[in-house]
Structure 1
């Protein structure tokens, strides 16, 4: 060990050889300071012992803030092939965490301090799904810190996402019926589409309603994805644009591997799509767009310039149609997935087939809707028996 006096009577610097680097085989110099020679040397010995025990270099940890750690983790996370949409969500969750601990040294982030963050987010009435996402991201970041020998333990491992006490209004608004359109509501919406819809509204909303597709999957459809002879639709991709710019779109695989699927279309939907394709071809021939500026992406639903529509457009169109109806539910295009599940359940399609047709979206929600609809059908059947054969049933009572 090498030791020297830096400032006479005030500071000493001790330097010792740490464990060999597992990759290069070279020894790492461990330097520590102290008020006395003995103190500086003891600090070096303690640091070397810690490195031998758990591989954690305190000098590196002292320079590592949460902000730096999160950025380092995100770079590695991106290399695993995650979609841009997923990375965007992780960045948002990191930004929330940075508001609390960006400049704090990671060794100072305790389980108690982290739990207070989750509690505060709950007090600020963040959605529980948002808080859960933040918690998941924090868990992955600190797990990474343990893996790369920056921390010995994950400080967020024992934390819990608080459960908000539900009010009567919360309970009533969270009823499963709120997640899908009843038959009468679907009829009202589609009628409003026929009466008030703009160009392509009818084709797109009917396709969403009777296939359970995600809006991103629908916007990504290309003409070869439809086989009009076999009446089949092949779903292999979804569309994404970080800035909602039609020219900056990206086609990526669907949400999950189970989302790649082939579904059979009803005759009525096939007829609607055939008419749509014919109309699009005519418009393409009549287009005044300069051919050199036309984007030939072969999209089923294309703008005049050939570029695809984005899911944001479907949301805006749906909000416009909903204003023409009496439907009070908070409905986005995703509600058609749940509506389609309810339709299949009412048609007595078995659950595995339902899951296959919708591409394994949220099994928990799918199960709830399927169970709710089938249970309701049984109750309706019992009521019909009572209404039809009530007099006979009463014979046993009189």
Structure 2
């Protein structure tokens, strides 16, 4: 390393660094400092960073959006679901509104933390902020792997947590996420009395199988075995912008979601009846549609195209309101209700998770624990009602035995 003192009194040192990884040209590193040692340390620090493989020149040239586009190409062919890619694109849009033209090497933890603070101030949901952090983490991990940056700045960033008020804590009861037995009876009776065509079939199926709404929308007749009373679940519905002509059938998110479930005989009889009715409708409507979509869907429109998840969500919400029940929820309220029915029937947690296609679900565990505890309390109440008079004998005074 060579060093010299400039006329200004500042020291300048320079040395040969690693050759440029792209052009293979020599790379002389020059740094200045108030003292000779300071200038030397700056040169050595830069050379060490280059030896570590960090390509500062490339990092200084690439913008956040440049790297994000590269990452997205790789991520899109990694086997993730279309819904997941769509979610990542939403997060990327938010990130680009702050970072699009910022050099990737100049982005630090403070910058990313301030983005989340601003999102919090703008009342973004917790899930939106968490998705932004996860997406940013993937992009910066890609940049780190390719030596555009030395460290991933997302490691030190936290999603702002909203502190629950006393009212929110009191109102956020787990019972609100499912229907009690008497509530389920009211809901199903309302479905029969005031529901639209296919409401009864879809809602009974969901309540007594725990199927996800996307799985119900994607269900085909060849997935149903009427001889063994089983349903094979292998796919889910993806319908961007609720456009029936743009639907896709995609594999479930996890291997555990691919499953075969036993179905009650009465539910299967209901589906058989629905199949017969659907065949009659198909004969009369097929002639009306030049582009009739004959793909064997269990639940479909008059033109053969499947329904989107939003349609089922709206129908469940509508029936809940008509039933007079105060609980408001989407399709998952029936899925959660099915879990409670299994718990009350004495089914163990592992079997329940296998049936609903969960590998690790906090919600399923919480419902299982809550209902189990409730059953224990109910058991004690039943004991009290049945044998309370015997228990009261325990407080009677003992006879004097002379001892």
Tell me what 1:368 maps to.
366
Gapped regions of structure 2 (runs ≥ 5): 1-15, 32-39, 397-403
**Kept after mapping to 2: 8 A contact 1:47/1:58:** no
Deviations 1:304-345 (A, max 9, x none): 111111111111212221220222223000121111111100
Q: In structure 2, which of residues 255, 264, 269 is the aligned counterpart of residue 257 of structure 1?
A: 255
Deviations 1:270-328 (A, max 9, x none): 11100000011111122253575211111111221111111111112122212202222
Tell me what 2:24 maps to.
27
SS of residue in 2 equivalent to 1:136: helix
- C-alpha separation in 1, matches of 2:73 and 2:290: 38
Kindly indicate whether residue 47 of structure 2 is the aligned counterpart of residue 49 of structure 1.
yes
By how many angstroms is 1:56 displaced?
Answer: 2.8
Tell which deviates more after alignment, 328-337 or 93-102: 93-102
SS of residue in 2 equivalent to 1:366: helix
By how many angstroms is 1:115 displaced?
Answer: 1.7
Tell me what 2:326 maps to.
328
Q: Normalising by structure 1, what TM-score? A: 0.87
Tell me what 1:7 maps to.
none
**Kept after mapping to 2: 8 A contact 1:19/1:51:** no
Deviations 1:187-229 (A, max 9, x none): 1111111111111110011111111101110111111100101
Kindly indicate whether residue 161 of structure 2 is the aligned counterpart of residue 163 of structure 1.
yes
Tell me what 2:315 maps to.
317
The correspondence of residues 238-277 of structure 1 with structure 2, limited to 5 A, is 238-277=236-275
Tell me what 1:185 maps to.
183
Change (3 A) 1:294 1:253: same
Kindly indicate whether residue 132 of structure 2 is the aligned counterpart of residue 134 of structure 1.
yes
- C-alpha separation in 1, matches of 2:330 and 2:359: 16
**Kept after mapping to 2: 8 A contact 1:17/1:28:** no
Tell me what 2:282 maps to.
284
CA RMSD of aligned residues (A): 2.5
Gapped regions of structure 1 (runs ≥ 5): 1-15, 35-41
SS of residue in 2 equivalent to 1:72: helix
The correspondence of residues 216-227 of structure 1 with structure 2, limited to 5 A, is 216-227=214-225
- C-alpha separation in 1, matches of 2:271 and 2:120: 46
- C-alpha separation in 2, matches of 1:147 and 1:153: 10
The correspondence of residues 1-398 of structure 1 with structure 2, limited to 5 A, is 19=19, 21=21, 27-28=24-25, 49=47, 52-290=50-288, 292-360=290-358, 363-398=361-396
By how many angstroms is 1:355 displaced?
Answer: 0.4
User: What count of residue pairs does the alignment treat as equivalent?
Assistant: 373
Change (3 A) 1:386 1:158: same
- C-alpha separation in 2, matches of 1:29 and 1:200: 73
Tell which deviates more after alignment, 46-55 or 169-178: 46-55
